């Protein structure tokens, strides 16, 4: 590798207020001012809300379910936090309390990735050469690269929407960040860092299950064999890692056994779900990954690829080995999944962003310019499109654009909101100022390369979560139809059975409509049926005579209809 030279001007830190502002504008929008959205987001809320209500006591806290319907895909850890916040803040709406925990996970991810990169890149083996005494100090260099790592992660396309959901997937990404920070911290404080990495592995068992936990364990085992830096701290690091990982990993599965047959049955379903995550790969899944990964991981993957090549002679140094080994083990788990999913790709984002951060100080001008111009053209075009279609939806002009926008949110009646307009205008002006600064000033700071990409992503998300939030919420919520179903029920009734209802619908109908579900009772006097086109659900499987009382559907979804039926005397 050619000597790396980074001057103090290049290693100037990004203004803390600007970095914090970008992070806040990335994290907060999407968690505020909306309902639980279908499908995964509403299901995650439903699990935490059920824990908060705890109709079955401690069993609801140990066996994730939505009002009696088991949820075996994942563990309880993220929902424990949501339920605790609901109990600690009873004056806050339960759905908002759950989203506050999602906000905390995302802020934690950002902090963990920044500090992991900072700890690794201030080490002497990755410091720039100093032939003339003008190079940046180790602290300044580490801080500048850490800024780049955070900005790359914020700019990554695939992370944006999924990280703003209240699901185990979003929490698991934060857990990957904790693992990387723990391993980086272990180089200076092996026992503490090992314990943090072990905590991340244990939490992973209670989030995304065993496959990812095994991948992280293999990473911890491989690092001392590959990297001299980790070989020197292997014994004390494992001293902190082993007991923490074992205790946290085994706590929940053993607690399930204490619940008797019901707990053992849930653990069996959970283990079956774990084994189903390793049914691949297939040619179809590999093809889909090849098609989706380039956009999902843009712009991190080309910079990370360059970093791997540029640092190949120092690939065994901790700064390179930690993210590379973690990325490789997590990639193997993703490829072994029977079907492609964003959930499988999400854990790869933090280590990929860390690798990309290492590549930025050595990035060639041509690739840097390509990323800049791609960001300017892409996000300017997206921003212009969002404004144009929003104006068409609000005003009806131009007619063709208005028809197209209305078709996407059928039945939605736009309501002008001055606050949303002002916030959207301020975000757009900030984007224009950022582009002008980058083009006119030609800054030398390392983070200039990804400033436009992260700023453009923040602009896009902010416009979607201000101008388009009412329309998006209308399209993805069950609030209105759930309230209609609740209004059709009498004030007193025994319970409601369901047919064809998924966990997201169950949670939101109970939360917004106040329906009392109980599929275990045979004497329920009401039945809620979900019909999905082209056919209708057959109620003959449910004992009793039923007469229809109410029909409804979400205007934005014509394929899904609801029927509420009342039991009649035979």
pLDDT band, residue 282 (cuts 50/70/90): confident
pLDDT band, residue 13 (cuts 50/70/90): confident
H or E segment to which residue 72 belongs:
none
pLDDT band, residue 569 (cuts 50/70/90): confident
Mean pLDDT, rounded, for 299-319 = 92
Judge whether residue 436 has pLDDT over 80.
yes
Q: How many whole angstroms from its chain centre is CA 347?
A: 9
Structure tokens at 90: 């009873």
Q: Considering only CA atoms, which of 505, 490, 507 is closest in space to residue 562?
A: 505
Q: Name every residue whose Cβ is closer than 8 Å to that of residue 366 and which is 6 or more positions away in sequence.
A: none
Q: Are strands 69-70 and 496-499 parallel, antiparallel or unpaired?
A: unpaired
| Predicted pLDDT of residue 167 | 93
Average pLDDT, the chain: 92
| Predicted pLDDT of residue 247 | 97
Judge whether residue 8 has pLDDT over 80.
no
The neighbour count for residue 543, using CB atoms within 10 Å, is 10
| Predicted pLDDT of residue 570 | 60
SS3 (DSSP) at 96: helix
Q: Name every residue whose Cβ is closer than 8 Å to that of residue 441 and which is 6 or more positions away in sequence.
A: none
Q: Check residues 344 and 223 and name the one with the higher pLDDT.
A: 223
Percentage of residues in the chain with pLDDT exceeding 90?
76
Q: Considering only CA atoms, which of 121, 139, 111 is closest in space to residue 23?
A: 111
| Predicted pLDDT of residue 537 | 78
514: left (phi over 0), alpha (psi -120 to 50) or beta: left
Least confident of 130-134, 248-252, 497-501: 130-134
| Predicted pLDDT of residue 445 | 83
| Predicted pLDDT of residue 340 | 77
Q: Check residues 539 and 493 and name the one with the higher pLDDT.
A: 493
Mean pLDDT, rounded, for 472-483 = 95
| Predicted pLDDT of residue 51 | 98
pTM for this prediction: 0.95
Unique residue bearing structure tokens 């914020």: 154
CA distance 295 to 305: 15
pLDDT band, residue 133 (cuts 50/70/90): low
pLDDT band, residue 131 (cuts 50/70/90): low
Judge whether residue 129 has pLDDT over 70.
no
pLDDT band, residue 231 (cuts 50/70/90): very high
End-to-end CA distance of the chain: give it in Å, rounded: 85
Q: Considering only CA atoms, which of 48, 58, 87, 68 is closest in space to residue 167?
A: 48
Judge whether residue 65 has pLDDT over 60.
yes
pLDDT band, residue 5 (cuts 50/70/90): low
pLDDT per residue over 383-407, tens digit each? Answer: 999 999 999 999 999 999 999 999 8
Judge whether residue 266 has pLDDT over 70.
yes
Structure tokens at 208: 């995304």
Judge whether residue 1 has pLDDT over 60.
no
pLDDT band, residue 140 (cuts 50/70/90): confident
Judge whether residue 278 has pLDDT over 60.
yes
């Amino acid at each position: 590798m050619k000597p790396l030279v980074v001057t103090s001007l290049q290693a100037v830190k990004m203004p803390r207020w600007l970095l914090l502002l970008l992070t806040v504008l990335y994290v907060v929008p999407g968690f505020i001012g909306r309902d639980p959205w279908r499908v995964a987001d509403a299901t995650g809320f439903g699990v935490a809300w059920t824990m908060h209500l705890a109709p079955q006591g401690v069993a609801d806290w140990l066996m994730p379910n939505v009002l009696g319907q088991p949820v075996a895909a994942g563990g309880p850890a993220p929902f424990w936090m949501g339920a605790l916040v609901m109990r600690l803040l009873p004056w806050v709406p339960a759905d908002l309390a759950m989203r506050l925990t999602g906000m905390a996970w995302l802020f934690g991810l950002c902090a963990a990735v920044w500090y992991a990169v900072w700890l690794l890149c201030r080490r002497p083996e990755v410091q720039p050469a100093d032939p003339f005494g003008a190079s940046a100090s180790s602290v300044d260099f580490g801080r500048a690269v850490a800024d780049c790592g955070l900005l790359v992660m914020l700019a990554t396309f695939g992370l944006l929407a999924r990280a703003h959901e209240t699901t185990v997937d979003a929490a698991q990404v934060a857990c990957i960040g904790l693992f990387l920070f723990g391993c980086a911290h272990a180089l200076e404080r092996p026992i503490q860092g090992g314990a943090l990495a072990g905590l991340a592995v244990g939490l992973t068992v209670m989030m995304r299950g065993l496959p990812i936990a095994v991948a992280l364990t293999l990473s911890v085992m491989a690092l001392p064999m590959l990297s001299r830096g980790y070989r020197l701290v292997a014994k004390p690091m494992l001293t902190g890692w082993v007991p923490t990982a074992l205790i946290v990993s085994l706590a929940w599965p053993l607690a399930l056994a204490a619940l008797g047959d019901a707990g053992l049955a849930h653990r069996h379903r959970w283990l079956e779900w774990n084994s189903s995550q390793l049914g691949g790969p297939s040619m179809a899944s590999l093809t889909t990954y090849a098609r989706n990964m380039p956009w999902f991981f843009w712009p991190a993957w080309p910079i990370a690829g360059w970093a791997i090549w540029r640092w190949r002679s120092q690939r065994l140094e901790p700064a390179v080995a930690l993210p590379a080994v973690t990325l490789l083990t997590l990639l193997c788990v993703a490829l072994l999944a029977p079907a492609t999913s964003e959930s499988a790709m999400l854990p790869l984002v933090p280590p990929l962003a860390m690798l990309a951060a290492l590549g930025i100080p050595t990035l060639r001008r041509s690739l840097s310019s390509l990323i800049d111009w791609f960001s300017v053209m892409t996000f300017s075009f997206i921003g212009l499109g969002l404004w144009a279609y929003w104006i068409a939806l609000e005003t009806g002009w131009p007619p063709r654009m208005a028809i197209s926008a209305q078709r996407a949110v059928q039945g939605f009646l736009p309501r002008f909101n001055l606050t949303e307009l002002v916030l959207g205008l301020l975000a757009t002006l900030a984007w224009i100022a950022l582009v002008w600064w980058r083009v006119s000033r030609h800054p030398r700071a390392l983070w200039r390369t990804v400033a436009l990409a992260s700023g453009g992503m923040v602009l896009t998300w902010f416009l979607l979560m201000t101008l388009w939030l009412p329309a998006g919420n209308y399209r993805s919520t069950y609030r209105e139809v759930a309230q209609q179903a609740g209004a059709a029920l009498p004030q007193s009734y025994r319970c409601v059975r369901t047919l064809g209802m998924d966990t997201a619908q169950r949670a939101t109908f109970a939360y917004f409509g106040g329906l009392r579900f109980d599929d275990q009772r045979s004497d329920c006097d009401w039945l809620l049926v979900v019909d999905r086109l082209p056919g209708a659900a057959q109620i003959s499987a449910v004992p009793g005579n039923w007469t229809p009382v109410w029909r409804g559907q979400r205007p934005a979804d014509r394929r899904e209809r609801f029927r509420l039926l009342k039991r009649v005397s035979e």
